[in-house]
């Protein structure tokens, strides 16, 4: 059975896909965000609350299923439905973040205790189901006519077909499954979680919400029918809002653990070789020694600031840093920016059930990624 791997060959294949298929990802994303606008417009007709937590998870799952598998759930049925895929991904992320003894007692003792208390039972079960899912998808792509769309699976199978016997780097079926595992586990909830927190902070901070909407509507002009990727990057205030959301709500509070290759001394502390290092970007983002009023949502703090999230400023690391930083940062940022721009241009947003500003429950939950514990329900009013 496939275990999660972190092989740099997987990473190279993903980067190759990113460079060559940005255009097709753009069409998919515009299409899927268009479906969300349509669905929210229907709710606006009856002034019904929309579960934005669910909406954003389904949106990012749809984008990933189309980009990775070529599967469009709006057009055709599949052997597994989209909700089941979302359920498997959520369970896998939870199981990966659950307590194991070997995290604290590396070596034989930890492994023995995990075996004794069956700590890996849950993870093995869900990874087994995901493995069967990937196997089925690969099988479909190997059939004649199975590779008509330029999706990630087709691209990797083409790479396998093209490789020669002399090539030093060879992709195999386990690499294909490992990349799918990476894309599904890292690509769905990270963008969704960021959008949920951004909308929650905006509705909790009406001044920022109003300024954002005015900025977007003035910049893009009135009565537009569609907001597309040509509009990305045009609204400076939205960029500040996204940065501020990354600071207060990094999707992954701890980036992927690192291991020291040799003895190092940091601020007077001796760290021996082969020590696992956990980097808590959530705490760094709220550190009062680095940020003024760290708990307040103030996008203006980034006006005229050179601090950004591309891994060079260690005060703000929502995508990590260095060789293992997120390889899909442009895709993640575009998902968030395009969706927020559409939702803030076309709709005004209110709290449901007579709830007042400041009463929204902002409690966090989760282990690997931090989600909003209570789903975000908001009432839309269509503006254009
Ligand atoms: C706003 C959206 C996103 C955020 C905040 C985010 C954040 C992160 C972070 C913090 C890491 C760990 C980096 C490190 O330890 O230095 C990571 C890794 C990764 N992300 Fe993203 N990500 C996002 C979107 C995506 C998307 C859309 C995909 C795929 C389509 C993706 C694929 C990956 C992969 C494959 C890795 C593992 C890289 C490795 O192990 O070398 N991410 N991401």
pLDDT of residue 181: 95
Residue 6 has pLDDT above 50, yes or no: no
Q: What is the mean pLDDT of residues 133-138?
A: 95
| N-terminal to C-terminal alpha carbon distance within the chain | 51
Residue 3 has pLDDT above 50, yes or no: no
pLDDT of residue 258: 92
Ligand 1 centre and the CA of 182: distance in Å?
9
Angle at 214 between CA 210 and CA 216, to 5 degrees: 115
ipTM above 0.90, yes or no: yes
Sequence ranges of the binding site for heme: 326
Show the 3-state SS of 42-72: HHHHCCCCEEHHHHHHHHHHHHHHHHHHCCC
Task: State whether the beta carbon of 332 lies less than 6 angstroms from ligand 1.
Answer: yes
Q: For 201-230, what is each residue's pLDDT tens digit?
A: 999 999 999 999 999 999 999 999 999 999
Task: State whether the beta carbon of 321 lies less than 6 angstroms from ligand 1.
Answer: yes
Ligand 1 centre and the CA of 147: distance in Å?
26
pLDDT of residue 10: 56
- Strongest mean pLDDT among 11-25, 71-85, 312-326: 312-326
Which tokens hold the place of 166?
């002399």
Which tokens hold the place of 338?
């395009």
**% of the chain with per-residue pLDDT over 70:** 94
Q: For 13-72, what is each residue's pLDDT tens digit?
A: 555 555 556 567 899 999 999 999 999 999 999 999 999 999 999 999 999 999 999 999
Burial group, residue 85, by CB count within 10 angstroms (0-12, 13-18, 19+): buried
Three-class DSSP category at 180: helix
pLDDT of residue 303: 97
Three-class DSSP category at 264: strand
Ligand 1 centre and the CA of 55: distance in Å?
21
pLDDT of residue 9: 52
* Topology of domain 7-90+185-382, CATH: Cytochrome p450 (1.10.630)
Pocket probe mutation, ligand 1, options 65, 326, 340, max atoms within 8 Å of Cβ: 326
What is the C-alpha to C-alpha distance for residues 128 and 125, in angstroms, rounded to an integer? 5
Task: State whether the beta carbon of 331 lies less than 6 angstroms from ligand 1.
Answer: yes
Name the β-bridge partners of 350: 379
Three-class DSSP category at 240: helix
Average pLDDT, the chain: 91
What is the C-alpha to C-alpha distance for residues 42 and 299, in angstroms, rounded to an integer? 31
pLDDT of residue 320: 97
Q: What is the mean pLDDT of residues 112-128?
A: 91
Phi, psi dihedral angles at 3 (to 5 degrees)? -105, 155
Ligand 1 centre and the CA of 241: distance in Å?
20
């Amino acid at each position: 059975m496939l275990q999660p791997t972190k092989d740099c060959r997987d990473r190279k294949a993903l980067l190759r896909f990113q460079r060559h298929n940005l255009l097709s990802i753009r069409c998919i994303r515009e299409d899927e965000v268009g479906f969300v606008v349509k669905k929210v417009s229907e709710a606006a007709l009856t002034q019904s609350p929309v579960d934005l937590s669910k909406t954003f998870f389904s949106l990012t799952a749809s984008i990933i299923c189309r980009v990775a598998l070529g599967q469009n759930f709006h057009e055709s049925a599949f052997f597994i439905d989209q909700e089941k895929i979302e359920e498997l991904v959520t369970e896998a992320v939870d199981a990966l973040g659950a307590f194991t003894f070997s995290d604290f007692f590396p070596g034989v003792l930890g492994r023995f205790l995990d075996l004794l208390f069956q700590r890996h039972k849950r993870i093995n079960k869900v990874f087994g189901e995901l493995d069967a899912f990937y196997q089925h998808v690969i099988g479909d792509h190997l059939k004649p006519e199975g590779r008509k769309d330029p999706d990630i699976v087709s691209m990797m199978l083409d790479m396998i077909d093209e490789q020669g016997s002399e090539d030093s780097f060879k992709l195999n079926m386990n690499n294909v499954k490992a990349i799918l595992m990476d894309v599904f586990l890292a690509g769905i909830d990270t963008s969704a979680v960021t959008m949920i927190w951004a909308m929650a902070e905006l509705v909790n901070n009406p001044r920022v919400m109003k300024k954002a909407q005015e900025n977007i509507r003035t910049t893009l002009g009135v009565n537009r029918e569609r907001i597309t990727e040509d509009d990305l990057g045009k609204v400076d205030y939205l960029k500040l809002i996204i940065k501020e959301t990354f600071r207060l709500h990094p999707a992954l509070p701890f980036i992927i653990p690192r291991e020291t290759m040799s003895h190092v001394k940091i601020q007077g502390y001796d760290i021996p070789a082969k020590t696992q290092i956990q980097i808590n970007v959530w705490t760094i983002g709220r550190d009062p020694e680095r940020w003024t009023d760290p708990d307040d949502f103030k996008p203006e703090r980034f006006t005229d600031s050179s601090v950004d999230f591309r891994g060079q400023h260690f005060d703000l690391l929502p995508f990590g840093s260095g060789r293992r930083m997120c390889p899909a940062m442009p895709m993640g940022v575009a998902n968030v920016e395009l969706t927020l721009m559409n939702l803030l241009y076309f709709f005004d947003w209110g709290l449901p059930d007579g709830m007042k500003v400041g009463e929204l429950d902002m409690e966090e939950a989760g282990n690997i990624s931090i989600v909003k514990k209570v789903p975000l329900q908001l009432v839309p009013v269509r503006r254009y």
